């Protein structure tokens, strides 16, 4: 009977240990989500800026080509 009680106590102890600190994990997950969202926003902003610069450069090239043809 003692072995059964010890086995049950061991199972309970392992169960509590496996649960961990859910509140700390939730806070860390929220911080990670915010950090990842900020990184994605920064990459999207840089891509939009690069696309705008490429479009402006393409407009300049088209204007220069028209000027050369007109001469």
User: What are the CA-CA distances from residue 29 to residues 3, 16, 18, 52, 61 (Å)?
Assistant: 40, 21, 18, 35, 48
Over its length of 71 residues, how does the chain's per-residue pLDDT go in tens digits?
Answer: 778 889 999 998 888 777 766 666 778 888 888 989 988 999 999 999 988 888 877 666 555 555 555 55
Q: According to the model, what pLDDT value does residue 22 have? A: 67
What is the pLDDT at residue 43? 92
pLDDT for position 67:
52
d(CA 33, CA 26): 10
**Residue ranges of E strands in 1-71:** none
Task: Using the structure block, give the residue that is written with the tokens 């309970």.
Answer: 12
Q: What is the CA radius of gyration of the chain?
A: 31
* Dihedrals phi, psi of 53, to nearest 5 degrees: -65, -40
């Amino acid at each position: 009977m003692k072995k059964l009680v010890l086995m049950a106590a061991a199972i309970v102890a392992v169960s509590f240990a496996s649960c961990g600190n859910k509140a700390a994990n939730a806070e860390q997950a929220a911080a990670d989500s915010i950090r990842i969202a900020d990184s994605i926003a920064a990459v999207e902003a840089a891509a939009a800026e690069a696309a705008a610069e490429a479009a402006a450069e393409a407009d300049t090239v088209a204007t220069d080509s028209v000027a050369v043809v007109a001469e």
